[in-house]
């Protein structure tokens, strides 16, 4: 009998790399702008991904394998993000990838992931044109930028707010959002009295604000970054113009917005892709876990990252392997619900099931004001 044992052990030893491979953690790579322009949102996402990693590993990982997330800091630089993703795919040879934050960075990364055949659930971009280029491995997670303002504009109609002035930064995402706003305003029969762009990262938007005021608009909309949302609020104050409604596409959804502006943040409208009051399954748990883990409230960016993890997990499970082609196919047809809402893409990979919420700061509190059915407060127009 003993003579038989040795060969079996030997055989097991030979086969050990296979079994070793089976127990190796699944590596999922990504690069985030942990510093620079997109740092605020990126850090939210980093925390969320880590949270998801912990949670999934606590549940036994994916397909019986632990998950290891590999995150690089790209300093919000397009060139860096490009080389980092290339390295992740060719050097690190990660099993799967998450996308970077911001449409700008996604635009430079996606051609590479397409090249190497890595499916990406776009947790950091909702730029319309990304889904007009025929990419096969890119799947949208939330509503497109052109749809961000729809709820706000609808309310302008409902509450007879009046004419609009739109200012937007000259980055792709902001432009797309502004174009969407204009299109929807027209559809809803709203008059646009000003439609002006400004250079991105402009600190002082007083001039624009003055121009908007002179247009006699009743509502001021700005499509830009967190910083620009803040800058425009300050510019309005400086120009002593108090439009009936002030809307900023990005920024106000973050607690930091209030942190920076204090009471001036009140009455500001914005779009949010997720809010803890959204009453969606797992949403509250996520909020609590995040708060518990990081001592701060998660923004929708954080929720996006978590949702991306949820989707990837479900796709891999459905595929029964890490075969990226199989996962890609499943992602293109799968319908599911995450903490941010429904997931479902059209054949271009564009998200068509998710819609954004409209929030308003009211007395230091972020309230959902649209859609009505999910609202936590009524909107206030001054």
Q: Which of 57, 83, 348, 375 binds another protein (CB under 8 A)?
A: 348
User: Is 134 one of the binding residues for another protein (CB under 8 A)?
Assistant: no
The stretch among 14-22, 36-44, 80-88, 146-154 that binds another protein (CB under 8 A) is 146-154
Q: How far is the CB of 36 from another protein (least distance, A)?
A: 33
Q: Are strands 357-362 and 67-73 parallel, antiparallel or unpaired?
A: unpaired
Q: How far is the CB of 292 from another protein (least distance, A)?
A: 38
Residue 221 forms beta bridges with which residues? 166, 247
The stretch among 110-118, 168-176, 186-194, 230-238 that binds another protein (CB under 8 A) is 186-194
User: Is 179 one of the binding residues for another protein (CB under 8 A)?
Assistant: no
User: Is 147 one of the binding residues for another protein (CB under 8 A)?
Assistant: yes
Q: Which C-beta is closer to another protein: that of 184 or that of 246?
A: 184
Q: Which of 64, 189, 262, 295 binds another protein (CB under 8 A)?
A: 189
User: Is 347 one of the binding residues for another protein (CB under 8 A)?
Assistant: yes
CA distance 125 to 109: 12
Binding-site size, another protein (CB under 8 A): 16
The stretch among 149-157, 199-207, 269-277, 300-308 that binds another protein (CB under 8 A) is 149-157
CA distance 308 to 330: 14
User: Is 346 one of the binding residues for another protein (CB under 8 A)?
Assistant: yes
Q: How far is the CB of 187 from another protein (least distance, A)?
A: 4
User: Is 262 one of the binding residues for another protein (CB under 8 A)?
Assistant: no
CB atoms within 10 A of CB 364: 10
Q: Which C-beta is closer to another protein: that of 152 or that of 286?
A: 152
Q: Which C-beta is closer to another protein: that of 183 or that of 197?
A: 183
The interface with another protein within residues 72-91 (CB under 8 A) comprises none
Q: Which of 118, 139, 168, 184 binds another protein (CB under 8 A)?
A: 184
User: Is 334 one of the binding residues for another protein (CB under 8 A)?
Assistant: no
Q: How far is the CB of 32 from another protein (least distance, A)?
A: 30
CA 192 to chain centre: 28
List b or e across 63-91, with b for residues whose CB sees 16 or more CB atoms inside 10 angstroms: eebebbbebbbbbbbbebbbebbeebbee
The stretch among 45-53, 179-187, 212-220, 222-230 that binds another protein (CB under 8 A) is 179-187
Q: How far is the CB of 351 from another protein (least distance, A)?
A: 11
Q: Which of 187, 238, 279, 378 binds another protein (CB under 8 A)?
A: 187
Please give the structure tokens belonging to residue 322.
């890490």
User: Is 352 one of the binding residues for another protein (CB under 8 A)?
Assistant: yes
The interface with another protein within residues 150-169 (CB under 8 A) comprises 150, 154, 157-158, 160
Contact criterion met (CB below 8 Å) for 110 and 78: no
CB atoms within 10 A of CB 190: 20
CB atoms within 10 A of CB 193: 16
Binding site for another protein (CB under 8 A): 147, 150, 154, 157-158, 160, 184, 186-189, 346-348, 350, 352
């Amino acid at each position: 009998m003993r003579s038989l044992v040795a060969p079996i052990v030997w055989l097991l030893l030979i086969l050990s790399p296979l079994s070793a491979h089976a127990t190796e953690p699944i590596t999922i790579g990504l690069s985030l702008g942990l510093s620079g322009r997109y740092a605020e949102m990126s850090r939210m996402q980093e925390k969320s991904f880590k949270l998801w990693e912990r949670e999934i590993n606590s549940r036994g990982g994916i397909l019986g394998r632990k998950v290891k997330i590999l995150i690089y800091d790209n300093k919000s630089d397009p060139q860096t993000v490009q080389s980092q993703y290339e390295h992740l795919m060719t050097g690190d040879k990660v099993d799967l990838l998450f996308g970077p934050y911001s449409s700008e960075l996604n635009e430079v990364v996606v051609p590479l992931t397409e090249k190497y055949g890595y499916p990406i659930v776009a947790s950091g971009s909702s730029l319309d044109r990304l889904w007009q280029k025929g990419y096969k491995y890119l799947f949208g997670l939330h509503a497109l930028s052109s749809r961000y303002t729809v709820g706000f504009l609808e309310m302008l109609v409902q509450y007879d707010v009046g004419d609009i002035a739109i200012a937007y930064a000259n980055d792709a995402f902001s432009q797309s959002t502004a174009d969407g706003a204009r299109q929807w305003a027209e559809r809803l029969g709203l008059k646009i009295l000003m439609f002006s762009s400004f250079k991105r990262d402009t600190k002082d938007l007083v001039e624009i604000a003055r121009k908007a005021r002179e247009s006699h608009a009743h509502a001021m909309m700005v499509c830009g970054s967190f910083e620009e949302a803040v800058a425009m609020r300050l510019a309005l104050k400086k120009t002593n113009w108090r439009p009936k409604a002030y809307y900023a596409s990005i920024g106000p959804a973050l607690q930091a917005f209030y942190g920076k502006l204090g009471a001036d943040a009140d009455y500001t409208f914005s779009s949010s892709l997720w809010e803890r009051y959204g009453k969606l399954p797992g949403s509250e748990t996520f909020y609590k876990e995040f708060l518990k883990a990081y001592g701060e409230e998660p923004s929708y960016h954080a929720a996006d990252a978590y949702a991306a993890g949820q989707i990837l997990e479900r796709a891999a499970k459905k595929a029964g392997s890490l075969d990226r082609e199989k996962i890609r196919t499943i992602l293109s047809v799968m319908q599911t619900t995450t903490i941010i809402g429904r997931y479902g893409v059209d054949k271009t990979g564009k998200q068509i099931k998710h819609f954004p919420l409209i929030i308003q700061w009211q007395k230091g509190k972020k309230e959902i004001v649209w859609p009505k059915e999910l609202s936590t407060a009524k909107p206030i127009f001054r």
